[in-house]
Amino acid sequence: MFSGKLFGLCLKYAKNYPDAEDVLQDSFVTIFEKIHQYKYQGSFEGWAKRIAINTALKRYRSQSKLQIVKEIETSEEVTLEVDEVIETDFLLNSIQELPDKYRLVFNLYAMDHFSHKEISEMLNISVGTSKSNLSRARLILKEKIIAHRKQQEKA
């Protein structure tokens, strides 16, 4: 089944593991409920993926107001706990630790090839905000990778 792929996607869009599980659960419930709406246009996987993305967006769009910028600082501490050997896990964690808006924009643009215009419509933000969020996300990720490499060199 494509559940592995879908859960992978949820993990990227969610900020942590339990959140990803929640998103996956909600996605599957939606998929089963709306299965009759699937018109065999395009791949089923793509359709399911789109539902998962929408579910994740819905979740963080509504919660975004409660976002605290301070979280970036605290999350860096957590990064140090990550097992250095597993690079993929480190990358995933880096994404997950991004603030909600940055993470969503980065995922949509870099991973799922949406344009800034599409993203701005999906997230109800301006194209400018989408662009700046993307560059900030990249910046944070870059810093994290550099910090990570430095740490590996030390070790």
Partner 1 sequence: MEDNRNIDQLFRERLGDFEKKPNPELWSQIEGRLDNNKKRPFAYWWLYSGVAVVIIGFLLVPTLFENPKKPIQKIEQNITTAPTEDKLKQKDTITVFEKQPNVVNEAKENTRIAIQKKPIQKIEKPELNIHEKEEQNLRTPSSRIALSSILIQKSNSLSYEDAIVETPLQKKKEKSLVNLFDVVNDKDSLTDPTENTKKWAIQPTYAFTSSQSFNDASPIDRLLQSNPKSGSNASAFGISLTYKIGKKWAIRSGIHTHQAKFSTRNVNVVSGVTSSGLTGVTNTNNSLLVSDQLFVADSTTVSTLLNLNTSTMLVSNNAVIEHQYNYIEVPVEFRYDIFNKTEYSLGVISGISALFLNKNMIQLLLTDSSYLLGESNNLNSLNFSSNLGIDFNYAILENVYLNVNPMFKLHLNTFSRDSNGFRPYFWGVYSGIKYQF
Which chain residues interact with partner 1 by CB under 8 A? Answer: 3-5, 7-9, 11-12, 15-18, 21-22, 24-25, 28-29, 32-33, 63, 66-68, 71, 74, 77-78, 81, 87-88, 91-92, 95, 106, 109-111, 135, 138, 141-142, 145
Least CB distance from residue 25 to partner 1, whole Å? 5
CA 97, chain centre distance (Å): 9
Do residues 111 and 13 touch, judged by C-beta distance below 8 A? Answer: no
Whose CA is closest to 131, among 121, 117, 111? 117
Shortest distance, position 40 Cβ to partner 1, whole Å: 22
In the bound state with partner 1, the residue whose beta carbon lies nearer, of 107 and 120, is: 107
Nearer to partner 1, 33 or 153 (CB): 33
Q: Which of 3, 37 has the CB closer to partner 1? A: 3
Q: Helix/strand/coil (H, E, C) string of 26-86?
A: HHHHHHHHCHHHCCCCCCHHHHHHHHHHHHHHHHHHHHHHHCCCCHHHHHHHHHCCCCCCC
